[in-house]
Each structure stands twice: as C-alpha cells, then as structure tokens.
Structure 1
Amino acid sequence: MLTWLRERLAGRWADRGDRGDVPGWVLVTLMTAGLVLTLWAVAGPRLEGVFNDAIDSVSTGP
C-alpha cells in the first residue's frame, strides 16, 4: 500500500514540469524589503523614542 502511494505521488510531482515562478518570488521579496525599509524610515525615530521612554521609566522608577 505504501509503495503504491509513493509511486502515485512521485508520478504526480514528476508530471508537473514547472519549477516555480522565480521572477515572481524575486519581485515579492524586493517589494517586501522596500516596504519594510519605508516603514522603518517613517516609524523608526518614533519607535526609538517609545523604547527609550520605556527603558527610562523602568530604570528610574515611578
């Protein structure tokens, strides 16, 4: 039973004939990196201020 299933699955994957959409994945990766950099540039100073305020409040106490 397992041999039959393995042969069926191997045959199904061998018949596909495609290796994926590499240019599409490159585009998605580059767009994601651009989005992260843009958000970091816009929100970075604000997040740094929030982090520093939190550390200062923990260090000095209420």
Structure 2
Amino acid sequence: MTWDWLRNKYDDESGDVPGWVLIVLMTSALVVAIWGVARERLVAIVEGALSSVCGDLGC
C-alpha cells in the first residue's frame, strides 16, 4: 500500500487563498481605523523621531 496520496495532500503548497485574502482585508481595515483615530498623534511621533535623527539637516 502506498501513501503517496496522503503525502501529496499535505505537500501541496497552493495555500489557502481565501484565508490570505481575509487576513489582508482585515489588516487593511485595522490600519485605516487606527489611522483615522490617531492620525495627528502618529504624524507628531514620526515628525519628532525624524527631527531627532536629522536635526537641522532636514531629512
């Protein structure tokens, strides 16, 4: 008796496309929601970090 059918079933690397699409959509929705709520604060954090690294050079 060969076990090729079982090995082929679990060696398939086609992936779970609907699952990955759902993950991408949910992640995008989270990013948009967080950006909508905390935009001003996030911009201030990034600007502060860049100014502390670049100083007067103006990256």
So what's the TM-score if we normalise by structure 1?
0.50
Identity of aligned residues (%): 47
Instruction: Select the structure with the greater relative contact order (CA < 8 A; seq sep ≥ 6).
Output: 2
Deviation for aligned residue 1:20: 1.2
- Counterpart of 2:38, as a letter, is A
Give me the whole-angstrom Cα distance separating, in 1, the residues matched to 2:16 and 2:28. 19
Larger radius of gyration: 1
* Residue aligning to 1:4: none
Consecutive unaligned residues of structure 1, counting only runs of 5 or more, are 1-10
Where 1:20 maps in the other structure, the secondary structure is: coil
Q: Which runs of 4+ in 1 moved over 6 A?
A: none
* Residue aligning to 1:46: 41
Consecutive unaligned residues of structure 2, counting only runs of 5 or more, are none
So what's the TM-score if we normalise by structure 2?
0.52
Alignment of 1:10-49 (within 5 A): 14=8, 16=9, 18=12, 19-49=14-44
